Amino acid sequence: MTDVRDLLVRGSEKVIEHYRLLLAGAKTEKERELYLRRIEREQWLIDQFKGSLPGRLAA
C-alpha cells in the first residue's frame, strides 16, 4: 500500500510544480489566489498521505 501512497505523493508534488509555474506567470491577483489555493490543497493532500497509517488493520 505504501507504493500507492508514494505514487500519489509524487503526483501531487508534480501538480504543485506545475501550479508554481502558472503562479509565476499569473497576470491578475485572482489568478495568483487561485493557484495558491490549489497549491495549498495539494500540499494538504501530501500531508494526509504522509500522515496516514501504513496498515489500517493495526487498530
Domain ranges, ordered by start, for the chain: 2-50
3-state per-residue secondary structure call for 1-33? CHHHHHHHHHHHHHHHHHHHHHHHCCCCHHHHH
Residue 5 or residue 1, greater confidence: 5
What integer pLDDT is reported at residue 59 of this predicted model?
39
Give the chain's length.
59
pLDDT tens-digit readout, 3-58:
899 999 999 999 999 999 999 999 999 999 999 999 999 999 999 988 875 554 44
Closest CA to 9 of 49, 54, 51: 49
What integer pLDDT is reported at residue 53 of this predicted model?
53
